[in-house]
Amino acid sequence: MGMKLGIIGYGGMGYWHGEYAPRAGVEVVAAYDVDPKRLEMAKDNGIEAYDNLDEFLKHDGMNFVVIATPNDVHKELTIKSMHAGMHVMVEKPATMSVTDWDDMVAESEKTGQILTVHQNRRWDKDYNVMRKVVEEGKIGEVLSIESRVFGTGGAFFGWRSFPEYGGGMILDWGVHLFDQLLGMYPDIKVTNVYAKLMTVLDQKVDDYFKVTLTLENGPLLHVEVGTYAFYKLPRWYVIGNEGTLQIDDFDCEKGGYMKPRYTDTPVAEVVVMTSAGPTRMMAPRPPETKEDFPLPEVETDWTELYQNLVGVMEGKEDLIVKPHQVRRVLELIEVIFQSAEEDRSIEVRI
């Protein structure tokens, strides 16, 4: 079956889908947008452009759509598209509340159309390398995972700076980072959520956040995103009871994990004088008592998400990005906003 894709919202990400989907053997046939300039661009890229949604949805032979508009209209466009017989891959965040998501899933069940979400960062190399080291037990039992993304751009642009359109960093990077971490612990409950959402540059939406999640019999998860943080901190920092992992950036070019090496050399037998004062616990470790390991090689391919959707449409595969996983992240995000609003930690079972 030829897979023919229509793009709703041919902005930054819509353009990206237009360039990327063909790599998975998908043909991009049509685009719908409310901005004539974006439609001109789609035409220039050989895509049939529509300024009318109903006409677009009738495009001959189109079997599925990607929705890459601002977040506030994801629900309405998803439901209309499924109603018109399209399978849907909606951009993250799928929508802005659990109730809305439940309505979208109900429409998918009613119409029999597939509904999935473009959680492409499940295929990011840094995430998969971290996950491999953790899941293979290379640093022992994991006690704490820090996931961090810092940039210096500061101000948001366009719809991203308004809460009513679903702006702010929780609904931007946060969605990816929570999806990644919860994906590692599908059967372990989050029991406590504490979130601080701030605006460093006096905006209407969060341009900085720090969230701490407690897992039942699992590690403490810290997620921090800043758009105005001028020194980089590692993308991942993981503490285990047999070692420590650090991955500096998305490309995994710098980083590794370090473990103790058991030798006859005492780590710090006596109190050592350091610039921070006398110490034993914090004394520099003799080099022969520790060992560095390189990060493992992991191959990842973002097109797998499209290939999976094609496989599901052909009845050959199960969805990778499943509705209940999307719901769990949205449930968590609702509690994050509540925790920030009330400035307290909240007990949950998510």
Query: Residues in the site for ligand NAD, rule: CB under 6 A?
Result: 8-14, 32-35, 38, 68-71, 73, 91-92, 118, 120, 158-159
User: Which pair of structure tokens corresponds to residue 217?
Assistant: 């019999």
| Least distance between ligand NAD and beta carbon 303 (Å) | 14
The residue at minimum Cβ distance from ligand NAD is 11
* Residue 15 or 257 having the CB closest to ligand NAD: 15
Least separation in angstroms between CB 333 and ligand NAD: 13
Residue whose CB is less far from ligand NAD, 154 or 158? 158
Q: Give exposure, 233-257, as e/b (b: 16+ Cβ within 10 Å).
A: ebbbbbbbeebebbbbeeebeebbb
Count Cβ atoms below 10 Å from residue 106 Cβ, excluding itself: 11
Q: Minimal distance in Å, beta carbon 216 to ligand NAD? A: 29
Give the Cβ contact number of residue 187 at 10 Å: 6
For ligand NAD, which is the closer residue by CB, 71 or 246?
Answer: 71
Q: Which is nearer to ligand NAD, 68 or 145 (CB)?
A: 68
Closer residue to ligand NAD, CB minimum distance, 71 or 307: 71
Q: In the sheet that 48-50 helps form, which strands lie side by side, from edge to edge?
A: 48-50, 27-32, 4-8, 64-67, 87-91, 115-118
Between 74-83 and 98-111, two packed helices, what is the crossing angle to 10 degrees? 10
Residue 13 or residue 195: which is nearer to ligand NAD going by CB? 13
Say which residue the tokens 């509340």 belong to.
Answer: 97
Residue 44 DSSP SS3 = helix
Least distance in angstroms from the C-beta of 290 to ligand NAD: 37
Shorter beta-carbon distance to ligand NAD: residue 67 or 133:
67
Cα separation, 64 vs 66, whole angstroms: 7
Name the residue with tokens 């959707």. Answer: 309
The minimum distance between CB 211 and ligand NAD, in angstroms, equals: 18
- d(C-alpha 282, C-alpha 182), whole Å: 33
User: Taking the complex as a whole, how short is the minimal distance between the CB of residue 196 and ligand NAD, in angstroms?
Assistant: 22
Query: What whole-number distance in Å separates Cα of residue 75 and Cα of residue 106?
Result: 12
Q: Pick the closest to residue 118 from 39, 47, 14, 245 (CA basis).
A: 14
Q: At closest approach, how far in Å is the CB of 349 from ligand NAD?
A: 28
